[in-house]
Amino acid sequence: MKALAVELGGAHAECAVVDDQKILASQHLELDSAQGLFSVLPLFSETCRTLLKECRLSVKDCIGFSFSSCGLIDSTRGRVLSTNQKWDDAPSLDLPAWSQREFSLRLKIENDARMALLGEWYAGAARGLQDVAMITLGTGIGGAVMIDGRLLRGKHYQAGNLGGHQPVLFHGRKCTCGNLGCAEAEAAGWSLPLIVREWPGFRESGLAREPRINFEALFRLAAQSDRVAREVRDRCLHVWAAAAVGLVHAFDPEVIIFGGGVMKSAEVILPFIEDYVSRHAWTPWGKVQVRAAELGNQAGLLGAVPLLRE
């Protein structure tokens, strides 16, 4: 079962031809969201046609077009509802109509965090499970939940999506969403440099000499016993673990999956969160498992077939 798939991020897109649990061909595109989504649609068409040709396939071989996007998504009407300061024109676009015009294919669109969970459920770390929560640690923190084998969407398509915007500190840092002390405002790629630069002793830390303050630098210097890096890293671990307990209490999953680039340090992150969740979550039935995502940035693309079959 083959499908065309696009995954749209804040500053990139991945176009692919997917065959069930495999990606047959894909192309990474660096993009600037300020140019607007409308202006890059022709690039997506052209790239998808080239990829089909490489696979010796035609659009007639595909069951549909899967579009994974950042932001809040109305998957019933096929609309982007709200993006957080990127691809500002996306809510005005009718992507299903575009796909019909370009490819004569029906298009389904879903939020990127939900697509990552769908992919992990279909072909990765959540195979065979029915009740799963996923947290994707990146520039922001994505969230998605599956209950009884179905993606949770909710009245306004926000259910489970705002896992990164759970308040972990009510007197905390102002978040981009309007709330205070969200997990993402306290421990995500965008907030990390702000937190590190305010930390007592920052100037003496190796972090002050890093060209970019990111999680890679933080975990590397923490492993070298840099005091500030260690303290900030441990604080991030607590934020993520507190958010995980929040998800357990809200959604009753059997497994929580952590994904995102930071999981290169899974050997530090997973045991900490597992221990914290087992000590602090109220789960008299047993222990919630904490697992690393398996599919990396392919997860959202591999959600294509189950999304189109839903």
- Provide the binding-site residues for Zn ion, judged by CB under 5 A: 165, 175, 177, 179, 182
Cα–Cα distance, 309 to 18 (Å, whole number): 14
Q: Do the Cβ atoms of 165 and 183 come closer than 8 Å?
A: yes
DSSP-derived pairing of the beta strands 141-147 and 132-137: antiparallel
Q: Which is nearer to Zn ion, 124 or 143 (CB)?
A: 143
Q: Which is nearer to Zn ion, 179 or 289 (CB)?
A: 179
Enclosing H/E stretch for 150: strand 150-151
Beta bridge partners of 111: 69
Q: Residue ranges of the alpha helices (H) in the chain?
A: 41-54, 95-103, 112-123, 183-186, 192-198, 215-223, 227-251, 266-280, 299-302, 304-309
CB of 301 to Zn ion, least distance (A): 27
CB of 183 to Zn ion, least distance (A): 8
Q: Which is nearer to Zn ion, 188 or 222 (CB)?
A: 188
Cα–Cα distance, 265 to 99 (Å, whole number): 39
CB of 114 to Zn ion, least distance (A): 18
Q: Which is nearer to Zn ion, 110 or 186 (CB)?
A: 186
Cα–Cα distance, 303 to 115 (Å, whole number): 5
Q: Which is nearer to Zn ion, 119 or 163 (CB)?
A: 163
CB of 170 to Zn ion, least distance (A): 12
CB of 179 to Zn ion, least distance (A): 4
CB of 167 to Zn ion, least distance (A): 8
Q: Which is nearer to Zn ion, 73 or 162 (CB)?
A: 162
DSSP-derived pairing of the beta strands 150-151 and 141-147: antiparallel
